Structure 1
Amino acid sequence: MNELPSRAHRPVRVLRVLASRHADSTRMVRPQDFDTELVAQAASVSDVDGHERYVPLCVDWRDARLLLSRWDDDCAMSDVPFLYQRQRRTATHLLAVPFEQLDAPGRAARMTPTFIFSIGRCGSTLLSRLLAAVGEQSVSEPDVLTSVAHFDDDAERAAAQGARERIVQSCVAAFEPACGPAPVIKLRARCNRAIDVFLNAMPHARYVFMCRDRDDWVRSSSRAFGDSGEALAELLKASVEAFDRMHAARVDPVLVWYEDLLADPVRALRRILLARDDLDARRAAVERALRTDAQEGSGLSRASLAMRTGDAGALAAFGARWREIRPERLLREHGLSRLR
């Protein structure tokens, strides 16, 4: 599972960012998004000055390197709606770490992260902000973990084989200096297609799965991303199957509905944060977080989305395709009848 490509010992590169592209885009971060110049090399990550300030950014599968960006922001990572956008916009220096120099999996094994999986456009960013409001160290959409689920071509996919679980472990470990041993990591919806990678890499993690009323989700996704109804039906099927895989792996996933989160946020948080007995005392902080736009400062803020119109035919197209492919047994077995 965790075998990495056998290569001669290569140095860690320290790169200065000269320019970046797609700053506010929702596209996945890629190494090609940055123009850089080499400013130093080191024998190991620990030899780089300020190495603890570097945060996982993305993966260069072809060169077998993990890229990290230096966090120079004044704000905490938990205050950023989408980490990948903030990194792409503000990164000044990168580390390019060869796979053979990644942390051993033992460090991640000592951590207890919570992964928030979702169907997207269902309040997962809000949940991330609510968790931050009650003092949890929450990271929203680190695209380095999206990298294990999405590939640009078959060559990239082939290069990733055998290394994806180790990447997940190394990235979770790399968040420890900033987030402590129990970070809450909210993932993009496309990560649902790589659920087995996460389950194999971090079987001891806590898993949360978020959903939303089906028709509202289709409308919101179409407006935000321009997704077709057919594509959304395929994504929802893959997401339901991912939830089933969580159950099969016996990780006891917590199912959270967006509508229930809005109705009683403290109750939803209590189901996720089993060890916390102080959440009632945090209601004021929770209410303040509810009144703010969880995606403010991004291209998916309420103000930005108010300017967009979705595909008028998306809901009908979704319904037609969903009736053909919906996994009836899984919807019934896992309490997902609202998606039917």
Structure 2
Amino acid sequence: MGLHSRQAERVDLALRPGVDAYAFVCMDDFSISPAAEPPLDDSQIACLRDAMVPYAVDWRRRQMLFTLHASRDFAAGHAFLYQAQREQAQQGVLVSFDALDALFPASLPPTGVTFLFSVGRCGSTLAADLLGAVGIPSASEPGVYEQLVAGHRRSWLNRRDRARVIRATTRALSAFVGEPLVVKLRAQCTIVAREIAVATQGRCAMILRALEPWAMSTYRAFGQWPDNRPDELAWRYANAVRVFDVLTRAGRRPQLVWYEDMLRDPATLLQAVGAQAPVSAPQQQALAATYQRDSQEGLSIGRAGSSARMHADVLQEFKHRWARQAPHRLLHRYGIADRL
């Protein structure tokens, strides 16, 4: 199937002022205009494929925006992939959903992708940095997977389109970043974890953290937002455990990584993502250096920027809510209860 000009178009990008640093990505983050260059033919679009990084989708127009980057390490020094795209992208390619299968066919990777899910505030950004220290490619919080969450309750969305977008996003990241690829996902993506895992047949891993330190860290980073009420926090952790069960029953049981174990030894993380090669002496030094710095340094959610404190009465309310909402049967089935 060929790619007609109306199905894939090179465009110029300009980041709009005032884009929320932590908001889900969307097409409107950029002002998009046709590129000054002549329209690209099929072969030219295909040649751009290895420089294309997925950024966002427009579900109604059935289009996907890829940003163009010459360097594979353009996101180095950024905690999240979408930050680097927003800062650096000047050109991109708009691709119709109907052209995605031709541009990123099933014959392309991934052959070895791991999706790293988490409940949030449990070291997933550190995990991505640790993987980088030993040379394992990772993509930290690609925005398209987050848009699946935003569209989760839209009944008009075509399931076939969603699966096509998931596969194209994963293949594009594998082609650009390299393999074996680890995709570190935002905590909200647990909502669509099964959909992602089934569409890609990828390996899954999940990071959890002891309950009370997790709640206090979440509160410290974000304060009492509407989503950080004690009852909401309890629901969020319980939901992560249920997602673990859902993935297991779908035949994609996640490798479980505990934050506390990862802090002591990166081996638990490396095993979870299927790393086989022994860690060299230079990599050991790189790992030690990674542990010494804040993976979210410079962000408001980093150590220096976190200021809110979870008072004793709020913590007590959270514990009360957790006792009522906890999926006790699943906690014991998967050996999670003993670690909380």
Q: CA deviation at 1:108?
A: 5.3
Post-superposition Cα deviations, 1:143-195, rounded to whole Å, max 9, x if no partner, equal 111111223973xx522433222211101111133222321110011110112
Assess, with a 3 A threshold, how the Cα gap between structure 1 residues 170 and 48 changes in structure 2: closer, same or farther.
closer
Assess, with a 3 A threshold, how the Cα gap between structure 1 residues 46 and 251 changes in structure 2: closer, same or farther.
farther
The runs of 5 or more residues in structure 1 that have no matched partner are 1-7
Matched AA of 2:181: P
- 1:106 alignment partner, SS class: coil
- 2:150 alignment partner, SS class: coil
- 1:302 alignment partner, SS class: coil
- 1:162 alignment partner, SS class: helix
Identify the match of residue 57 of structure 1 among 31, 55, 58.
55
Structure 1 match to 2:210: 213
Structure 2 match to 1:169: 167
Post-superposition Cα deviations, 1:93-117, rounded to whole Å, max 9, x if no partner, equal 2221100010355135652101100
Structure 1 match to 2:288: 287
Tell me whether 120-129 or 37-46 shows the greater mean CA deviation.
37-46
Are the counterparts in 2 of residues 69 and 91 from structure 1 also a CA contact under 8 Å? yes
Q: CA deviation at 1:80?
A: 2.6
Matched AA of 1:251: R
1:318 aligns to 2:292 (yes or no): no
Matched residues in 2 for 1:219 and 1:99: separation?
A: 42
Q: How does 1:66-215 map to 2 (within 5 A)?
A: 66-71=64-69, 75-77=73-75, 79-103=77-101, 106-107=106-107, 110-151=110-151, 154=154, 158-203=156-201, 205-215=202-212
Assess, with a 3 A threshold, how the Cα gap between structure 1 residues 284 and 163 changes in structure 2: closer, same or farther.
same
Q: How does 1:217-236 map to 2 (within 5 A)?
A: 217-225=214-222, 226=225, 227-236=228-237
Structure 1 match to 2:257: 256
Are the counterparts in 2 of residues 78 and 139 from structure 1 also a CA contact under 8 Å? no
Identify the match of residue 15 of structure 1 among 6, 11, 15.
11
Q: Identity percentage over the alignment?
A: 29
Matched residues in 1 for 2:54 and 2:95: separation?
A: 10
Q: CA deviation at 1:275?
A: 1.9
Assess, with a 3 A threshold, how the Cα gap between structure 1 residues 280 and 324 changes in structure 2: closer, same or farther.
farther
Structure 1 match to 2:308: 309
Are the counterparts in 2 of residues 116 and 186 from structure 1 also a CA contact under 8 Å? yes
Are the counterparts in 1 of residues 75 and 81 from structure 2 also a CA contact under 8 Å? yes
Q: CA deviation at 1:76?
A: 4.3
Q: CA deviation at 1:196?
A: 1.6
TM-score by length of 1: 0.86
Are the counterparts in 1 of residues 128 and 184 from structure 2 also a CA contact under 8 Å? yes
Structure 2 match to 1:5: none
Assess, with a 3 A threshold, how the Cα gap between structure 1 residues 45 and 30 changes in structure 2: closer, same or farther.
farther
Are the counterparts in 1 of residues 8 and 45 from structure 2 also a CA contact under 8 Å? no
Tell me whether 58-67 or 42-51 shows the greater mean CA deviation.
42-51
Superposition RMSD on alpha carbons, in Å?
2.7
Are the counterparts in 2 of residues 77 and 138 from structure 1 also a CA contact under 8 Å? no
Matched AA of 1:14: R
Matched residues in 2 for 1:28 and 1:149: separation?
A: 9
Q: CA deviation at 1:124?
A: 0.7
Assess, with a 3 A threshold, how the Cα gap between structure 1 residues 92 and 9 changes in structure 2: closer, same or farther.
closer
Are the counterparts in 1 of residues 110 and 170 from structure 2 also a CA contact under 8 Å? no
